[in-house]
Amino acid sequence: MAGNREFYYRRLHSLLGVIPVGVFLVQHLVVNHFATRGPEAFNRAAAFMENLPFRYFLEIFVIFLPLLFHAVYGIYIAFTAKFNTSQYGYFRNWMFMLQRITGIITLIFVVWHVYETRVQAAFGAEVNYEMMANIVNNPFMLWFYIIGILSTVFHFANGLWSFCVSWGLTVTPRSQQVFTYITMLIFVALSIVGIRAILAFA
């Protein structure tokens, strides 16, 4: 009975990208944005998140496992595509390619980011304003973070668009067109939130 699971895996992959991983991403960016109000505001917001009840449960079931599934299956999906934007330079085909490329960039970024923060925290480091400020003190790391944030936010925003097609929410060309505008606005808005936050540490 190994066969005929693909439909359900794909739907699960699609769902997890938005709920909970996408929801977590938005929440994470908003909390980080407290850094624009100074180190104390950020430390208070971060401490609030750290002291949420059932922290390990939430981390494992709301973030780690869904992201792990989405990422592993995402790599498989990305590598089964054969990009052809040079022959078919249509807008959606570019988005198709960017969705897969930003997925891979996001994976590299997230693995490094989690290693530098959450894994270090498990070894006793304190995650606070100072930790991030030390990281992005290095211009290379600042750029790494800016690219990582833009890539993740694009992947999420454009992913919302394909999520709506994958579940049959946007069916007609017009609804898909309107949703393209909406998701690009989401991309711009979340990019501003994310970039403002990281620059607040620099």
**Cα angle: 44, vertex 57, 43; to 5 degrees:** 10
Question: Contact letters (x/-) for ligand HEM, 109-128, by CB under 6 A?
Answer: -x------------------
Q: What is the CA radius of gyration of the chain?
A: 18
* H, E, C per residue of the chain: CCCCCHHHHHHHHHHHHHCCHHHHHHHHHHHHHHHHHCHHHHHHHHHHHHCCCCHHHHHHHHHHHHHHHHHHHHHHHHHCCCCCCCCCCCHHHHHHHHHHHHHHHHHHHHHHHHHHHHHHHHCCCCCCHHHHHHHHCCHHHHHHHHHHHHHHHHHHHHHHHHHHHHCCCCCCHHHHHHHHHHHHHHHHHHHHHHHHHHHHHC
Per CB under 6 A, 33 contacts ligand HEM = no
Burial profile 65-91: b = 16 or more Cβ within 10 angstroms, e = fewer: ebbebbbebbeeebeeeeeeeeeeeee
Q: Which residues bind other proteins (CB under 8 A)?
A: 3-11, 77, 79-84, 87-88, 90, 92-93, 95-97, 99, 162, 165-173, 176
Question: Contact letters (x/-) for ligand HEM, 50-89, by CB under 6 A?
Answer: --------------------xx--xx-xx-----------
| Binding-site member from 63, 104, 146, 195 for ligand HEM (CB under 6 A) | 104
Closest approach, Cβ 93 to ligand HEM, in A, equals: 12
Per CB under 6 A, 160 contacts ligand HEM = yes
Q: Which one of ligand HEM, other proteins, none is in contact with 139 (Cβ closer than 5 to 8 A by kind)?
A: none
Closest approach, Cβ 101 to other proteins, in A, equals: 13
Q: Provide the annotated binding site.
A: 28, 70, 113, 155
Per CB under 6 A, 103 contacts ligand HEM = yes
Closest CB to ligand HEM among 11 and 55?
A: 11
Residue type, 115: Y
| Binding-site member from 35, 46, 95, 107 for ligand HEM (CB under 6 A) | 107
Per CB under 6 A, 170 contacts ligand HEM = no
Residues that bind ligand HEM (CB under 6 A): 14, 17-18, 21-22, 25, 70-71, 74-75, 77-78, 99-100, 103-104, 106-107, 110, 152, 155-156, 159-160, 162-163, 166
